[in-house]
Amino acid sequence: MLDLCNKRWPRKLLLIACLLSVLVCVLISYRECCQPRRREDLADWGRGRNMVRSVWDEEISETFLSGRRQYRMHLQQARYVDANYNIDVRDDLPANPGPLDPDRRGRRDGTRRHRVRQTNPHNPLAFGYRDDEDRSSGTDATLNPLSSNLNASRKLPQVIIIGVKKGGTRALLEYLRLHPDIRAVGPEVHFFDRKYENGLEWYRRKMPPTIARQITMEKTPSYFITREVPARVYNMSRDVKLLVVVRDPVTRAISDYTQTVSKKNTKRFEELAFINNATGLVDTSWSAIRIGVYAKHLERWLQYFPLSQFMFVSGEELISNPGKEMGLVQNFLGIKKVVSEKHFYFNQTKGFPCLKKKEGSSSPHCLGRTKGRAHPDIEPNVIQRLRDFYRPFNMKFYQMTGRNFNWP
């Protein structure tokens, strides 16, 4: 075919013929040389199509695992390993990574994920990512350990914080969520008192995913005083452990009233607490008063559960000595003592302990602005009459629980 170029053809035809000759040669060469290799690449399913993005797929599989929800489920596994290696991941988190950090990864919502390098080279989960934002809506989402597949599933709770309102239940929950063996729902579920008709399957789906040896927990303080709840909890599980945070009933009632006043205008405390202020007859129909009669509510629960399945947490000790009280709670739950005095510092402004470091953050963390409100001034004689009212109930409660809380 190349001999055509030696004959006398018109210049345009000659040029076209030469180009066609070269094209045919290229096609023949490609067919003979390249096609077998391409067939070999395609022998493995989808390999030819995925060759271009193989590097990206590897990055996806190692970093994101099976997606954003999956790496949130692995957070507690990372903390569990860290606890066994005596490592605090939060100590190594950068407070404010620079804009030129080579390990920054962009996301569609514009936030960034910062690489975390732990100090233990033997830890198989030694690298992960932290979110800029705190998305603690029930599942702890801050760190993505680069681990292998973990079988996480949603289970019904083995531990429930059942009360009491304004006793310190939110503080207890936040402190327990520092523990790697605890997975807790953030918002109150109110299943057993308000949404029981939704069924146990609905309730289970509200729980966070857990892996082996992790405890599922939820908190709804109104359970303790609701008449139908003990039987319903018993029907779910006879072995569930129950945490009850109690506090001086008078102080608790004033705190309850303070919360109500912050939301709406209402009567004075004295007008609500007594049927007749002159006679001093206490109005037990007011919920703020009724909740504090702990012995009456506990009697209903003891009809279904033995005392050994209850842990009565002192709300006062959670403020004055949180490390010691958390040690008692961890012993009751049968988990390793991880949360201790080193996790807390006392905030003089709020008047109660705060966490030195929030989960997945290098900055201190206190409970929300709704916690630690200043109480209104109540006349001393009103407080004394309420203490006299509660005293016999408190003494009976001490006998039932086997713990003296030393309330005035």
Is 12 annotated as a binding-site member?
no
Give the burial string for 2-21 (b: 16+ CB within 10 Å, else e).
eeeeeeeeeeeeeeebeeee
Is 216 annotated as a binding-site member?
no
How crowded is the C-beta side of 39, counted as CA atoms within 13 Å? 7
Is 168 annotated as a binding-site member?
yes
Is 337 annotated as a binding-site member?
no
**Structure tokens belonging to residue 298:** 């506990």
C-alpha distances in angstroms, 94 versus 77, 103, 118, 132, 361?
21, 12, 11, 11, 8
Is 107 annotated as a binding-site member?
no
Is 369 annotated as a binding-site member?
no
Is 334 annotated as a binding-site member?
no
Is 83 annotated as a binding-site member?
no
Q: Do 235 and 156 contact (CB within 8 A), yes or no?
A: no
Please name which of 275, 270, 248 lies closest in space to residue 391, comparing C-alpha atoms.
248
Give the burial string for 106-121 (b: 16+ CB within 10 Å, else e).
eeeeeebbbbbebeee
Is 356 annotated as a binding-site member?
no
Torsion, Cα 365 216 333 81, to 10 degrees, reads -70
**Residue 406: CB atoms within 10 Å:** 10
Alpha carbons 79 and 88: distance in angstroms, whole number: 8
Give the burial string for 362-376 (b: 16+ CB within 10 Å, else e).
eeeebbeeebbeeee
Is 255 annotated as a binding-site member?
yes
Please name every residue paired with 281 in a beta bridge, in sequence order, or none if there are none: 276
User: Among residues 7, 155, 166, 241, which one is catalytic?
Assistant: 166
Is 292 annotated as a binding-site member?
no
- Is 324 tagged catalytic? no
Q: Do 322 and 352 contact (CB within 8 A), yes or no?
A: no
Torsion, Cα 202 206 209 215, to 10 degrees, reads -100
Which residue type, as a one-letter code, is found at position 192?
A: F
Is 166 annotated as a binding-site member?
yes
Among all residues, which ones are annotated catalytic? 166
Which residues belong to the annotated binding site for 3'-phosphoadenylyl sulfate?
166-170, 247, 255, 371-375
